[in-house]
Chains A and B, each alone.
Chain A
């Protein structure tokens, strides 16, 4: 039984939290995440959930409290964005290093300075190598569905890693969309009872978290953690398969849209993928063979599968909603390029930076990119490898 509602992305994710009912949630408000936690706090105050809500004085403390609660043996969630994620930075690595399955929506927002509250992906991109799993979401439905699945992925006994669920600030977090809620009971059954791995509160079996590991063992500890990421894609797909049974909605490692017979392609994350798919449909109607790849599991990056899905194309534009100052290309581009670099036959790649600080991504931007890709596919020539689009000269 599903219920169709018109809600904001934040409201949908707060509802997912209510349905999962974590044991502990420590949080600090930050735009555009605030509405999510405010709504969840209401569920706590109204007695709808028994979650222990810890209201702390910063995001560094929020994530620290989550680490403590998860090590103690609880199912734990929090949420943040932008500067909040930046402030929690140090603890990100502790959560993943301790292998604590904390679930954390990140409502993507630009980083200061200059201060800006609107969407781009600089926050989560900066944390992409912190050892957290990242699931990216195009719309409110995906944010809701990913949040529910995140608990199963994080808590899987082969994985035990924290998960970020990324969705676009304001564009998704504050816009009202039609979405389908699953039944409370169905969600509860899907996530199941929480099984802690090494709970500190199991005092009959004393244990210690956080030993000092120096030159003699640090490499071995890191190597053993690296091994876990190889198992993540399989678990993500298993969880998606089960989720389909209860929801009817399909999820993969990424979405491939009209890509199989395409000659040119666009790679893009989150909400802008929706706009791009509409424009692709228009071009397809005119016979232009264009497709799209929208990563969902961005960390660990399923580079083999992504490479296979893109290698047949003639030209690909990777659109990044974050730049990497001083680096060569945007962060998404780098992973796409790495996925393709060892194939003999591979597309020509270009990188376009768009939508920083909430700058609207319009259909004409997608058109501009597709027009350019058609030229590159025909001539094999690239004028500019990387540039900003939608920016005034």
Chain B
């Protein structure tokens, strides 16, 4: 752990991308589940996710990155799904 003498002035974070070190996945109480057959690949979930936890490869949606998904549910809320069937549902972690 950092001692007080190592603190940069203003606690400015000088290392870009250092948020990668904080695995926000441990905060999760609800877990998003991706239902691939309902997915229309609109990528709204990727756009809205505040933690960059929706992985995309070659323009195609992949599964969640549960190291960083904090379970906020934004993606599930925004997901249009297919014909009224959501492609993301939130489920309680304990289950």
> A residues within 8 Å of B by Cβ?
97-100, 160, 197-198, 205-209, 211, 213, 216-217, 219-221, 223-224, 227-228
Contacts and interface: CB of A to CB of B under 8 A. Distances in A.
B4 A211 contact: no
Contacts of B2: 217, 220
Query: Which DSSP category, helix, strand, loop or mixed, fits chain A's interface?
Result: loop
Interface residues of B, number: 15
Interface stretch (B11-19, B50-58, B74-82, B84-92): B11-19
B4 A209 contact: no
B94 interface: no
Contact of B7 (A98, A207, A220): A220
Interface of B: 1-14, 16
B5 A224 contact: yes
In this complex, the member of B5, B11, B14, B16 whose beta carbon has the largest number of chain A beta carbons within 10 angstroms is B11
B11 A207 contact: no
A216 B10 contact: no
Given A216-B1, A224-B5, A99 B13 contact: no
Nearest to B1: A216
A248 to B, nearest CB: 34
Given A99-B9, A160-B9, A198 B4 contact: no
Most buried by A among B3, B4, B7, B9: B9
A224 B4 contact: yes
Given A206-B16, A217-B2, A220-B3, A198 B9 contact: yes
Contact of A209 (B5, B7, B10): B10
7 contacts: A98-B12, A197-B9, A198-B10, A209-B13, A211-B11, A213-B11, A216-B1
A214 B40 CA distance: 41
A99 B10 contact: yes
